[in-house]
Structure 1
Amino acid sequence: MAVPLALMSAAALLSLVLATYLGAPVWVLVLANLGNAIMPQAGTLIRARWAHLLRGEAGMLHTANSFEQVLDESCFMMGPALGAALATLFFPEAGMLLALLLYTTGVIGLALQRRTEPPVQPQHEHHTGRAWQAPGLLLLAATLALTGTIFGAADVIVVAFAAEHQAAAWGGATLGCFALGSLVGGLVYGTRPAADAIAQRLLWSTLAMSVLLLPVLVVDQLPVLAAVLLVAGSAIAPTLITAMMLAQRLVPESQINEGMTIVMTGLLIGIALGSSAAGGMIDAYGASRAFLVPVLAAFLAFALALLGRSTLVSAERRAMDLFGSFATKP
């Protein structure tokens, strides 16, 4: 299903590029942008393959998930800079065209790698419902929704903060520091040994995320903001890596794609809500006060992880008892 859906979503977004180029009305742009709704998540498909290939190898699976997150952060760093460069050198839609080409080529190339593709799993007696019914999965998705709120809000606020300080050209670079910190955090986290229980690590990573982000509330200079974001970003990748590994454990192998997609959907919903909330705060109170949005989201993510700790730990143990674990060799 990945290839036809990817081609359909790419065609829809290609129509968005064309509509933008032709100066079409806003409602046409909105309709064209709905192509995102059916776009397969390549990161989820890849992580599902790692989980299949490294079943029973907890340490290697931890490293593989960390590696994937580092690649994601690298794209977050390079993408805006490359898009801006292409728009400046050629035309505004050049960045989107390159992104569509890379995405479509990547998904088709991934689909052709049949050797690493997980086999279709028949339904078993413990797989009678949907993945969202797995204990703890919606709680995990809600935690990532709050984490996504941080991303969405930061994207808007940092650019506005730079503009308010007459340094709009440096907004993208400052935001890149956030991704760079996350990249480094992912590299370091990937070298750490993987413990048997994953749920407990989510509590500590969300705590670090909220505490390290707190100084943005008192920053009044762009270079200082860049430094704060660099440090705060170091807790982002560990949170995402932990969440994705926990999602892999909470569902049976036959539902691993569905389970991770639900968690990823929570992240994407949070990004959308964060951008909207931050935009409203900026209009009403300015960029500096708008930082309350990501800070509050970070502390709510920690509070949710704290309140749901016993639920997630119990759910992880239950899942390991029911249908095995990627952490233990069969």
Structure 2
Amino acid sequence: MPLTAPPAPAPRITYGAVLGSPYVARLLGGTLTGRLPNGMAPVAILLWATTSGSTLAFGGLLSALYGLASALAQPVKGRLMDSHGQSAVHLPAALLNSAILVTLPLVGPYGGASLSTVLVVVGGLAAPPLEAGLRALWPSVLPDPRLRHAALALDTGTQGLLYIVGPLLVAALASAYTPAAALAITAALGLVGTASVALSPPSRRWRPERPKDRGAAPVGRLATPAVTLLFVSLAGVGFAIGAMNVWSVSMSENHQQDMLAGIIPAAFSAGSLVGGLIYGRRTWSGTATRRLIVATAAFLSGWFPLLALPTPYAATAAVSVPGAFLTIVVACAYLTTDALTPTGRTTEAYAWLILSIGAGQAAGTALAGRLAEQPLASAALPAAGAAFTLTILLAARRRLGPTGHRQHGRHRRTHRGRHKTP
């Protein structure tokens, strides 16, 4: 009998292959550029307010309101994209957001605190939903699941760089010129990056998937128990990040080393980037939900060394470990969300995921601020947030697993309808 040659192994995925795929580099670069204002605008607003004669407290309030408004508006903008397409949402949002950032230093001083507050809130509400939009584009841009897996890891791993590069760029611009100039550059970057994405063929052509079989879940139903539990759990991830940021400031004050307030979050973000790059180069066995739980357990364990109240150098090295697993947690959360989300609501679901993490981050920041003078409690908060996430995921694993996917998400749409389930 003739011998049959074994199938050739699949070629190894490289980031060169991912970035060389049509439109990928443009979409990634445009999204990162367009989202730089997320890291720049709050700092630029704070610097503008304080140099314009406002108190630090009022400047901090404006900065917080911008970020909160941007997060709260994500699901609304996600639903609008699912209904009207991406370009119809991205371009008007970017134009309004950029116009307000440029206008703020021109009219803010004349309208007093009330006008400044209104402008900042409207500017935050208008921030383009680029992150959710990009995640929704990947299936149409990269049909190969392995390339899509690597692109998602690369996309997620680079997010932390926005909050390192953005504030540094604002500080340099404000120092060399003025905070008003920093706001203008922030507006320009946001508009250019968003336009690059929104005017690209994949974004202009994109429309959400619609149910094709009669047994599909209604398009309007998004808040299933599984999706709700997943999003509630992810608030713990944001809580850990927010608490870590405040803890780094506390470390800098306790050790009288101002640079620690930036170095520790930078080490965390660097770990996230490296972890994402490693994760994206391999094809992993098991379901996304199982990987999510395992990665969350590793994310939790990475925070334990902080309980020993390490020295600054040890603390900087320590936070890179949970950072390395953050990208995996978030990437697997997106995959799980995709499997659980009804057809036609994907972008909105991604926006709720982003809001969940952002809300948790705000809560972690607020509580850590109140406990900043208690070193052990402050150091324990990131682990507490990660433990919250892991506890909910473990309790909900049956709903989030393959059975839950068939009941609520894409597997249900695939296997029900005219054809019998095998």
User: Structure 1 residues 60 and 217 mapped into 2: Cα distance closer, same or farther (>3 Å)?
Assistant: same
Question: Could you tell me which of 241, 264, 272 is aligned with 2:362?
Answer: 272
1:298 aligns with 2:386: yes
Contact 2:343 2:410 in 1 (8 A): no
Deviation at 1:316, TM superposition (A): 2.3
How far apart, CA to CA, are the structure 1 residues paired with 2:111 and 2:243? 28
Deviation at 1:294, TM superposition (A): 1.6
Contact 2:156 2:276 in 1 (8 A): yes
Query: Corresponding residue for 1:315?
Result: 404
Contact 2:339 2:411 in 1 (8 A): no
Question: What TM-score, normalized to structure 2?
Answer: 0.69
Deviation at 1:321, TM superposition (A): 2.7
Query: Corresponding residue for 1:188?
Result: 278
Equivalent pairs counted in the alignment come to: 321
Contact 2:338 2:410 in 1 (8 A): no
Query: Corresponding residue for 1:64?
Result: 151
User: Structure 1 residues 92 and 279 mapped into 2: Cα distance closer, same or farther (>3 Å)?
Assistant: farther
1:54 aligns with 2:156: no
How far apart, CA to CA, are the structure 2 residues paired with 1:96 and 1:164? 32
User: Structure 1 residues 134 and 94 mapped into 2: Cα distance closer, same or farther (>3 Å)?
Assistant: farther
AA at the equivalent of 1:189: Y
Query: Corresponding residue for 1:112?
Result: 199
Deviation at 1:149, TM superposition (A): 1.1
Deviation at 1:196, TM superposition (A): 5.4
User: Structure 1 residues 317 and 99 mapped into 2: Cα distance closer, same or farther (>3 Å)?
Assistant: farther
Deviation at 1:26, TM superposition (A): 5.0
AA at the equivalent of 2:99: A
AA at the equivalent of 1:10: S
User: Structure 1 vs Structure 2: percent identity of aligned residues?
Assistant: 24
Question: What TM-score, normalized to structure 1?
Answer: 0.87
Query: Corresponding residue for 2:311?
Result: 221
Question: Could you tell me which of 232, 254, 278 is aligned with 1:164?
Answer: 254
Q: CA RMSD in A?
A: 2.5
Q: Mapping of 1:1-330 within 5 angstroms?
A: 1-18=89-106, 22=109, 27-34=114-121, 35-55=123-143, 57-115=144-202, 117-122=205-210, 125=214, 126-130=216-220, 132-195=222-285, 197-282=287-372, 285-313=373-401, 314-318=403-407, 319-324=409-414
How far apart, CA to CA, are the structure 1 residues paired with 2:358 and 2:404? 24
How far apart, CA to CA, are the structure 2 residues paired with 1:171 and 1:234? 19
Measured against aligned partners, the alpha-carbon deviations of 1:43-86 in whole angstroms (never above 9, x if no partner) come to: 1111111022334x322221110011122133233223323322
**Highest RCO, 1 vs 2 (Cα 8 Å, sep ≥ 6):** 1
How far apart, CA to CA, are the structure 2 residues paired with 1:17 and 1:245? 41
Measured against aligned partners, the alpha-carbon deviations of 1:179-211 in whole angstroms (never above 9, x if no partner) come to: 001111111111121435211111111101111
AA at the equivalent of 1:311: R
How far apart, CA to CA, are the structure 2 residues paired with 1:221 and 1:16? 42
Contact 1:209 1:232 in 2 (8 A): yes
Query: Corresponding residue for 1:328?
Result: none
Contact 2:241 2:364 in 1 (8 A): yes
AA at the equivalent of 2:380: L
How far apart, CA to CA, are the structure 2 residues paired with 1:44 and 1:212? 28
